[in-house]
Amino acid sequence: MKSLSTSLTDPVYIPKEKFSRYDKLWLRIMNDKRDLPFIYLLTTIHLLVVPIAILLFTPVLTGWWWWAVAIPYFYVSQFYFKGSFGLMFHCLCHRKMFKAPYQKPFHAYITWILCPLFGHAPEGYFSHHMGMHHIENNLPDDTSTTMPYQRDSVKDFLAYFFKFISVGVINTIFYLFNRKRKKLGQRLTAGEYIYLAFCIAMCFVNLKATMLVFIVPLLFARLVMMLGNWTQHSFIDAKDPENLYKSSINCINTVYNHKCWNDGYHIIHHLRPGMHYTEMPAEFIKRKDEFAANKAIVFDGIHYLHIFTWLLTKRYDKLADNLVNINGNMFQSKEEAIALMRERTKKIPSPSL
């Protein structure tokens, strides 16, 4: 196990000594200067991803030239930028980046034009995440809850994933309408089915480009999101599932947090959903005694993919090696820590909730 250092390596806001003209152009319509990195990312995407996506649908490239461009495009868009874009959009769902009247059109543009390039059907992420997940917090009414599954089982993860792929959107639509969140339900329904019709239509325009630019990224994104949610909510105290310290995890001091806007601080995010990502490391240190008192699961130096892999291979020894023993008194031994982690990954049947 590891000790907690109060000197974290995850990103915090460092004021710029001087803003460029490009910075100043955007700052006039932005709410928070700390969001300038999002502008840099969006600019890069418009230079490297958007033009190539359009080019792949044109007759300019044919034969092996098309594949010579398509393969690097897929890698850059779906492996290099996908995480950064998706978690940036996550931040934008929680905090308005632009001042009125710019916020609505900019958010709509990102939602309907850019999101599909990274596998997000329009309106789906916002409706699911803001209208359902952060209200239910992975409890039984959450349509993507991990509670009924054995969370270190490959078989259960596959069942979880295929359930979401097959009925996840429909269940979320029903949830939103049943909870009287009609506008969100309408947005999710419209976004999902307009996008489905769009993809079908584009298959008649250029099948292989549609598959590579829109359909495969959609399936890949849903796998990644379910893998992420599974990992973030793998360790749950069956006796206290509503306790946010005991139903999620934190990953600290990892390069993942630099690429994905401190997404590793998932407990902090559920405690303070609207908190700016640069404030999360300090908030964690501020709450460390509460983390220790609740035996919250915090990993140091690893990210969700490590945790997912070691969970499904039942390598609790590796997980324990990277577990933070906050204040030095959460666990008396590695064996005790492993026992707690095993207990928190057990399937939680509905009658016992």
- Exposed/middle/buried for 259, CB within 10 Å: 0-12, 13-18, 19+? middle
Q: Do residue 279 and residue 341 come from a single domain?
A: yes
Compute the distance between CA of residue 155 and CA of residue 149 in angstroms, rounded to an integer.
Answer: 9
- According to the model, what pLDDT value does residue 350 have? 75
In a domain, 162, yes or no: yes
Q: Are residues 101 and 137 in the same domain?
A: no
Q: Are residues 268 and 219 in the same domain?
A: no
Overall domain count for the chain: 3
| 88 Cβ contact partners less than 8 Å away, ≥ 6 residues apart | 38, 41, 42, 261
Q: Which of 97, 118, 139 is the last residue of a domain?
A: 118
Residues 7 and 231: their CA atoms lie apart, in Å, by 25
Pair (92, 61) in one structural domain: yes
Check residue 112 and give its pLDDT. Answer: 98
HEC profile of 211-275: HHHHHHHHHHHHHHHHHHHHHHCCCCCCCCCCCHHHCCEEEECCHHHHHCCCCCEHHHHHHCCCC
- Give the integer Cα–Cα distance in Å for 154 and 230: 11
Q: What is the dihedral of CA 334, 335, 341, 342, to 10 degrees?
A: 160
* One domain for residues 213 and 269: no
- Asked if 209 and 308 sit in the same domain, the reply is no
Residue numbers of the domain that contains 26? 12-118
Q: Is 195 helix (H, G, I), strand (E, B) or coil?
A: helix
Residue 239 domain-assigned (yes or no): no
Q: Is residue 201 part of a domain?
A: yes
Residue 4 within a domain: no
At 286 the pLDDT is: 97
How far apart, in whole angstroms, are the C-alpha atoms of residue 78 and residue 76?
6
Question: pLDDT of 216-253, one tens digit each?
Answer: 999 999 999 999 999 999 999 999 999 999 999 999 99
| The last residue of a domain, from among 212, 233, 254 | 233
Determine contact, residues 299/2, Cβ cutoff 8 Å: no
Same domain? 80 vs 20: yes
Q: Measured between alpha carbons, how far is 13 from 125 in angstroms, rounded to an integer?
A: 26
Residues of the chain with pLDDT under 50: 352-353
| Structural domain contains residue 292 | yes
Residues 83 and 137 reside in one and the same domain: no
Distance CA 132, CA 229 (A): 14
Q: 132-160 pLDDT, tens per residue? A: 999 999 999 999 999 999 999 999 999 99
User: What is the model's pLDDT at position 351?
Assistant: 52
Q: How many other C-beta atoms can be found within 10 angstroms of the C-beta atom of residue 332?
A: 9
In three-state secondary structure terms, 2 is strand
Q: Is 129 inside a domain boundary?
A: yes
Quote the pLDDT of residue 352.
Answer: 44
Question: Does a structural domain hold residue 192?
Answer: yes
Query: From the CA atom positions of the chain, what is the Rg in Å?
Result: 21
Q: How far apart are the C-alpha atoms of 25 and 287, rounded to whole Å? A: 38
Closest CA to 74 of 41, 38, 95, 49: 49
Cβ atoms 353, 141 nearer than 8 A:
no
Is 3 among the domain residues? no
Length of the chain in residues, anyone? 353
Rounded CA gap, 180 and 158, in Å? 31
Return the H-helix or E-strand segment holding 298: strand 297-300
The SS3 assignment for 65 reads: helix
Last residue within a domain, chosen from 100, 118, 136: 118
